[in-house]
């Protein structure tokens, strides 16, 4: 196998775009990822990806896969990076299935769902409590459900569930919804949705499956009787495995405008970085930029 020019960790929008550019530059490279599509696969309706007036997350992931196949991109799927470290001029990528050597790395590992951290959450995970409306929403047809959060991911989940569930409680700890105004207007117009701002989830309740949540608002507690709970309270960067790089207080990898970290040869792109906005199209652009910078970096190596 030998030493690679580049290893890309992650196959979301950033990683896939980085890989397409690497293929076009005829690099010796490899993509390592536990899945294809990343958070895009969780998305419902996408209306702001250039070239598509409307496309669903799974449909866009299918387009990503087609593009990868066109370039015959070398992929290690269902493989997870557990450590990235550099010694002398070589970067070592250790996974749950092996170890690789490379001259450069692009970390495009994205983010994972943040937990509520309340009693009952882990007990009822996959027993009525989920972190993906796109994946699990259809299981809750004509049932009462709760979406926890007030940002874009929570609004996206709510919009998906409006056509599936009987009733949707949107439980938001903040005083107001912080997501896109267009999405906010959609849920405010639907009489299935009950918006509960300034409300905090105290416990998840159930027997064998979820039966409800206890919510606190203005010092008063009440139980919402629901059969499904969709947790959408933010994301945590998948960056713990990258050693030696600077990260901010949120754990995001610090990069400059060239996608370089403080460690020469280690680049990063997409939602795992401290780039301000987390959008599919931005991640894709960052992935392209990262590979172009890797190509320049490699051309200067002795």
Query: Is there a single domain that holds both residue 105 and residue 241?
Result: yes
Query: Is there a single domain that holds both residue 188 and residue 289?
Result: no
Q: Model confidence over 181-190: pLDDT tens digits?
A: 999 999 999 9
Q: Which domain holds residue 270?
A: 4-112+235-300
CATH no. for residue 207?
A: 3.50.50.60
Query: Is there a single domain that holds both residue 209 and residue 260?
Result: no
Query: Is there a single domain that holds both residue 147 and residue 161?
Result: yes
Query: Is there a single domain that holds both residue 57 and residue 204?
Result: no
Domain termination site, one of 215, 231, 247: 231
Q: Tell me, what's the pLDDT at 301?
A: 86
Q: Answer yes or no: are the C-beta atoms of 225 and 198 closer than 8 Å.
A: no
Q: How far apart are CA 259 and CA 6, in angstroms?
A: 14
Query: Is there a single domain that holds both residue 107 and residue 244?
Result: yes
Output the CA–CA distances (angstroms, integers) from residue 88 to 235, 263, 264, in the order listed: 34, 11, 11
Query: Is there a single domain that holds both residue 97 and residue 127?
Result: no
- Across the chain, where does the E strand assignment appear? 4-9, 29-33, 45-46, 55-56, 75-77, 81-87, 90-95, 99-107, 111-113, 129-130, 144-148, 167-171, 193-196, 199-206, 210-217, 220-225, 228-231, 235-237, 266-268
Q: How far apart are CA 231 and CA 249, in angstroms?
A: 23
Domain termination site, one of 203, 231, 259: 231
Burial of 33 (0-12, 13-18, 19+ CB in 10 A): buried
Q: Output phi, psi for 24, to 5 deg.
A: -70, -25
The model's pTM is 0.80
Query: Is there a single domain that holds both residue 121 and residue 107?
Result: no
Query: Is there a single domain that holds both residue 128 and residue 97?
Result: no
Domain termination site, one of 201, 231, 261: 231
Count of domains in the chain?
2
Query: Is there a single domain that holds both residue 123 and residue 225?
Result: yes
Q: Tell me, what's the pLDDT at 41?
A: 80
Q: Answer yes or no: are the C-beta atoms of 150 and 197 closer than 8 Å.
A: yes
Residue indicated by tokens 């938001």: 172
Q: How far apart are CA 198 and CA 187, in angstroms?
A: 17
Low-confidence ranges of the chain (pLDDT < 70): 302
């Amino acid at each position: 196998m030998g030493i690679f020019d580049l290893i890309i960790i992650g196959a979301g929008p950033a990683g896939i775009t980085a890989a397409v550019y690497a293929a076009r530059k005829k690099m010796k490279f490899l993509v390592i990822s536990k899945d294809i599509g990343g958070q895009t696969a969780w998305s419902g309706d996408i209306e702001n990806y250039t070239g598509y007036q409307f496309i669903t997350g799974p449909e866009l992931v299918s387009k990503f896969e087609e593009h990868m196949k066109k370039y015959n991109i070398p992929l290690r799927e269902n493989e997870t990076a557990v450590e990235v470290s550099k010694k002398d001029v070589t970067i070592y990528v250790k996974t749950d299935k092996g170890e690789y050597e490379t001259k450069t790395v692009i970390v495009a590992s994205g983010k994972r769902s943040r937990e509520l951290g309340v009693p009952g959450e882990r007990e009822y995970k996959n027993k009525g409590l989920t972190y993906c409306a796109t994946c699990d929403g259809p299981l809750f047809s004509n049932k009462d459900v709760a979406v926890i959060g007030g940002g874009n991911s929570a609004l996206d989940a709510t919009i998906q569930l409006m056509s599936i569930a009987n009733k949707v409680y949107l439980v938001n700890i903040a005083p107001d919804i912080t997501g896109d105004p267009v999405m906010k207007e959609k849920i405010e117009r639907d009489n299935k949705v009950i918006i509960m701002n300034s409300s905090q989830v105290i416990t998840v309740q159930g027997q064998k499956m979820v039966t409800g949540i206890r919510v606190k608002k203005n010092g008063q507690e009440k139980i919402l009787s629901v059969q499904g709970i969709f947790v959408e309270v933010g994301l945590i960067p998948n960056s713990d495995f990258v050693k030696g790089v600077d990260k901010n207080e949120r754990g995001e990898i610090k990069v400059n405008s060239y996608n370089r970290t403080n460690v020469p040869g280690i680049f990063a792109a997409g939602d795992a970085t401290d780039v301000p906005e987390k959008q599919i199209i931005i991640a894709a652009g960052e992935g392209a930029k990262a590979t172009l910078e890797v190509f320049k970096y490699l051309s200067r190596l002795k």
